[in-house]
Amino acid sequence: MTKALQAAGGKPWRPGKMSTVLVAVLMTMPPLVVIFSGRIGDQAMWIKTAVDGIRGGTDDDVSFMKHPTTSHDKLLGGLLVDGFDQESCHSRYQSAAYRRNAGRRPSEHLVSKLRRHEDLQRRCGPGTAAYSAAVEQLKSGKSPAAAEASPEACRYLVSISYRGLGNRILAAASAFLYAMLTDRVLLVDPSNEMGELFCEPFAGTTWLLPPEFPLVGYQGFYLHTAERYGKMREDRVLRPDGGEAAAAAPPPAFAYIHLDYNQTDYDKLFFCDEDQRLLSSIQWLVMRTDSYIVPGLFLVDAFQDELAALFPERDAVFHHLGRYLFHPTNHVWGLVTRYYRGHLAWARRRVGIQVRVSSWEWESPEILRTITSCTQDEGLLPRVLDDTDQEPPATAAASARRGLRPSAVVITSLKSWYYEKMKGMYWERATESGEVVVFDQPSHEEQQMYGVRAHERKAWAEMYLLSTTDVLVTTGKSTFGYVAQGLGGLTPWVLPRREVNGTAPPCRRDMSMEPCFHVAPLYDCKRWEDAGKIVPHVRHCHDMPAGLKLVDRTEW
């Protein structure tokens, strides 16, 4: 067993037989039992026989699984509800069939909270009387005063979508958790393909903000916006200790929450208890963040008990939120499943490598060395022999003759150079074990593009494909990699983000599969202390030391 499989709590393949139409030649494939990482104990292991056999089927037909996933698996342990129209979103109920790692089990509390929240989204979402009333209220310029607010009145959180796809996914997931914690309806800004890449997560309603939303230009809200919460706090327009005059005045109709990289200390008051009380009286909030602000929510006293009940495993927050919210639409799902069937399904082992490079690193021998040593030293891939003339030892040749199935590596990158080098290395030289490793890269888009639908679809499909692998190598600080690791339930090995003119240190296994909150608050509002040292389950990230991330174990 390799070091990596041991680390993942994995088991070696059991021999057996199956056939596949993925290749013209029939090949022998063993049934697979994966025991994935997890603590032994209450929430511990969730064992799944994920792929027992593969036979023919259409692209959208998971009957190609000999033993289709059970209803329990299909619904991800109750995270998803049955009853959605399957044709409009094939991925929703098929995704479990494409993962060997069944993932963590959601807590019962999370499952019931999700069902209650779905009711709220349906009761208050676009097209309802409650939504129309709230829009009228917004136009009036004031939130209803506490005394006037009807028990039926709904409150809303609008999440602005901007920057790269990984940023947008983390922002929407964060907004959703905040909406759940505060009983607000989440409405997502549909721009930047958010309405095109993802299926609707809530049955019987939409999470997309309707085009006739009256706050014209809300996507341009920024530091200058008069209704910015941090600004209103700084100017003392809003005060938690507002006194009688403030208490008598109705709260503003909306506030803009600015949590971009250049947020001020006043904006960061968002993560304080008394500010959360103040915010609760404002009917509409519009939030801008490109970050995973969830670790910051763990700093708010008022949320802590609920968060602990929702997520007894603190390192699985995005894992659950991501699998609940983000289902690729049918076109994207076609990209995922065609690649998966052609390049990954047959493999003995699947390895994902995300190489996120900037223009000065497009062909960096140094980064290539780091990738090679990371994958070989950590036992993720077999070592290659030193020179091209060397033959593998007799034992390795014998195991190759026995028909050991190849491992498959999916590399994602904007450039093809790293893929070409790795593929060449494993073709031109034998491995010490005699094992064959097949490399492939779904696309190389050359540069990051904005507003290009085909580009966005590929990015989403590639994040998703990385999440279907058995082991994952990501690039530090990349939200693209964070999404893949969280969806896959994979704690990655992280390639350092090289400094310009610097050297690349070795890769490192991450503390948890949670994304890092890059621009986290430093203090918990009362103590001006380092939150990464004093709040349980919140630690500084390896890849971004100023950032914060959730970990399950407290001793990190």
| Among the residue ranges 139-147, 372-380, 453-461, 528-536, the one whose residues contact ligand GDP (CB under 6 A) | 453-461
Contacting ligand GDP (CB under 6 A), which of 167, 281, 283, 485?
A: 167
The two structure tokens encoding residue 9:
């709590």
Alpha helices in 8-107 (DSSP H): 71-74, 90-94
Contacting ligand GDP (CB under 6 A), which of 200, 267, 275, 462?
A: 462
Q: Does 508 bind ligand GDP (CB under 6 A)?
A: no
Q: Does 466 bind ligand GDP (CB under 6 A)?
A: no
Secondary structure in 3-state letters for 448-495: CCCCCHHHHHHHHHHHHHHHCCCEEEEECCCHHHHHHHHHHCCCCEEE
Nearest CB to ligand GDP, comparing residues 467 and 479: 479
Measuring CA to CA, which residue among 280, 5, 2 is closest to residue 143?
Answer: 280
Q: Does 283 bind ligand GDP (CB under 6 A)?
A: no
Measuring CA to CA, which residue among 486, 221, 261, 496 is closest to residue 356?
Answer: 496
| Among the residue ranges 27-35, 260-268, 395-403, 443-451, the one whose residues contact ligand GDP (CB under 6 A) | 443-451
Q: Does 291 bind ligand GDP (CB under 6 A)?
A: no
Q: Does 124 bind ligand GDP (CB under 6 A)?
A: no
The pairing of strands 254-259 and 284-289 is parallel
Q: Does 143 bind ligand GDP (CB under 6 A)?
A: no
Alpha helices in 273-407 (DSSP H): 273-279, 294-297, 301-310, 317-325, 330-343, 365-377, 394-401
Could you report how far apart the first and last alpha carbons of the chain are, in Å?
27
Contacting ligand GDP (CB under 6 A), which of 331, 383, 405, 455?
A: 455
Contacting ligand GDP (CB under 6 A), which of 38, 106, 166, 201?
A: 166
Contacting ligand GDP (CB under 6 A), which of 165, 257, 316, 513?
A: 165
CB of 477 to ligand GDP, least distance (A): 7
Dist. CA 266–CA 235, nearest whole Å = 10
The two structure tokens encoding residue 537:
């389950």
DSSP string, 88-149: T-HHHHHGGGG-SS--PPPPHHHHHHHHHHHHHHHHHSTTSHHHHHHHHHHHHTBPPPTTT-
CB of 245 to ligand GDP, least distance (A): 44
Q: Which of residues 332-371 bind ligand GDP (CB under 6 A)?
A: 356
Q: Does 497 bind ligand GDP (CB under 6 A)?
A: no
Q: Does 469 bind ligand GDP (CB under 6 A)?
A: no
CB of 298 to ligand GDP, least distance (A): 22
Nearest CB to ligand GDP, comparing residues 36 and 333: 333
Residue 77 gets which letter from DSSP? G
CB of 380 to ligand GDP, least distance (A): 18
Q: Does 331 bind ligand GDP (CB under 6 A)?
A: no
| Among the residue ranges 28-36, 40-48, 63-71, 472-480, the one whose residues contact ligand GDP (CB under 6 A) | 472-480
Q: Which of residues 406-425 bind ligand GDP (CB under 6 A)?
A: 412-414
DSSP string, 178-208: HHHHHT-EEEE--TTTHHHHB--SSTTS--B
Nearest CB to ligand GDP, comparing residues 323 and 356: 356
**Size, binding site for ligand GDP by CB under 6 A:** 19
Neighbours of 351 (CB within 10 A): 23
Dist. CA 199–CA 196, nearest whole Å = 8
Q: Does 485 bind ligand GDP (CB under 6 A)?
A: no
Dist. CA 279–CA 238, nearest whole Å = 10
Dist. CA 204–CA 147, nearest whole Å = 32
| Among the residue ranges 55-63, 70-78, 164-172, 422-430, the one whose residues contact ligand GDP (CB under 6 A) | 164-172
Nearest CB to ligand GDP, comparing residues 142 and 163: 163
Q: Does 448 bind ligand GDP (CB under 6 A)?
A: yes
Binding site for ligand GDP (CB under 6 A): 163-167, 356, 412-414, 443, 445, 448, 455, 458-459, 462, 478-480
